[in-house]
Amino acid sequence: MIRVFIANRGEIALRAVRVCRTLGLETVAGYTPPDAALPHVWAADHSVCIGPPAAAQSYLNGPGLITAALASGCDAVYPGYGFLSENAEFAEQCRTAGLTFIGPSPEIITLMGDKAQARRTAAALGMPIVPGSEHGFAAVEPAQVAAEQIGFPILLKASAGGGGRGMRIAEDIGSFATCFMQASAEAKAAFGNAEIYLERFFRNVRHVEVQIFADQHGNVVHLWERDCSVQRRHQKLIEEAPSPILPAARRLEITQAAEALARGLGYEGAGTVEFIYDPESDRAYFIEMNTRIQVEHPVTEMLTGTDLVAEQFRVAAGAPLSISQPGEPHGVAIEFRINAEDAYDGFRPAPGLISAWKPPRGEGIRVDSHVYPGWRVSPYYDSLLGKLIIRKPSRTEAIAAAQEAIARFEVRGVPTTLPFHADLLTTEAFRTAAIHTRWIEQDMAR
């Protein structure tokens, strides 16, 4: 691996360029006209326009990206997160073209990308699974039959995607058909696959995920868990590690299960094994595996002192893991996603010109971002401006430090989610970790 094509944008693209520079790898940045002024385009050794602003014709155009990578002399492609990072067809196209796809194999992406297949695989490896359908559905009638067998309420999920797209909750059979059609249409638009998978829905659960890493030599480690329960419509807003409410026995159970799954799959690279945890029954259930680096990976990096992005490149080049299994985590890390959205107007996206951007600095404070004063937030892509990560010895100290850091974080020109985070940190429910995945809609909204 000598020259890497960065098939992404924003902060993860900038992070990849910086990591490649430290590893002695050349980089080529793909960009669209609205992204021509992004820092990773300047920072890369070379850059190439990959198409018009619409993502479908640029960042989601696999053949076009491969053509650009080959034309610019690259021998590897870094997909980051989002876009084509979990697209098995793109990974296969890279392999066919002789390009190293910096991620797991197309076969593993296919297996874990299909919710029903992932469920069967996890069950075969002895993992606890949520009651659900044995396969996905393209038509509403057979899906209704399966839903009644599973029992309501039902969570409908896109079989071929994630990130909250193609997801609905049907409370009863009367609402099922409408929810199915909505979820199916959204899944088709987002992932090109309208198939819907069904799961029993648990109302007040925590969303807990385990970071794993594996290499081509059979080495697997887990880097403990992250709690991602602060969500709105299945989109994560705050993540922290370790989970503030997970009992030691459940922590051991899910980390061992995640590691066993990675070993059983013959997994390579970074991956996240996701669970729901029901505090009432003290039970955890496998829900899916993300075959990529996560947006929230800095939480784990801050907690464990690792560089997960650099490890992605090392493993893809065939090197054994440089990460050893970390001991019990000490301290607390919390990440706040900073989006160009008005949280008090339904989280309405707010593209526009950034007139001021002054992140806080200090011990235990990290900001990952691509933003600078004078940069224009584009309406074509997601609204993520950056991530504020705080690490302190205790959760109480981390919350206090986060409040101070948010107060010092100056952003002007567009509304952001920083005021929402400031308000959230004052709530008793968050401070005592008494929240769940629907808490934003059900409780804080009131």
Catalytic positions are 292
Radius of gyration of the chain (CA): 21
Say if residue 259 is exposed, middle or buried (CB neighbours under 10 Å; 0-12, 13-18, 19+).
buried
Say if residue 230 is exposed, middle or buried (CB neighbours under 10 Å; 0-12, 13-18, 19+).
buried
Say which residues have a Cβ less than 8 Å from residue 158's Cβ, sequence separation at least 6: 115, 165, 166, 167, 183, 186, 187, 190, 191, 193, 195, 196, 197
Torsion of CA 259, 262, 266, 270, to 10 degrees: -110
Say which residues have a Cβ less than 8 Å from residue 141's Cβ, sequence separation at least 6: none
Give the three-class secondary structure for 88: helix
Give the three-class secondary structure for 32: coil
DSSP character at residue 36: T
Give the three-class secondary structure for 393: coil
Neighbouring C-beta atoms of residue 162, cutoff 10 Å: 20
Query: Alpha-carbon distance 269 to 62, whole Å?
Result: 21
Closest CA to 18 of 33, 32, 29: 29
Query: Alpha-carbon distance 69 to 67, whole Å?
Result: 5
Query: Alpha-carbon distance 8 to 14, whole Å?
Result: 9
329, β-bridge pairs: none
Give the three-class secondary structure for 212: strand
With contact defined as beta carbons under 8 Å apart, do 104 and 291 qualify? Answer: yes
What one-character-per-residue DSSP string does 282-317 give? TEEEEEEEE-S--TTHHHHHHHHT--HHHHHHHHHT
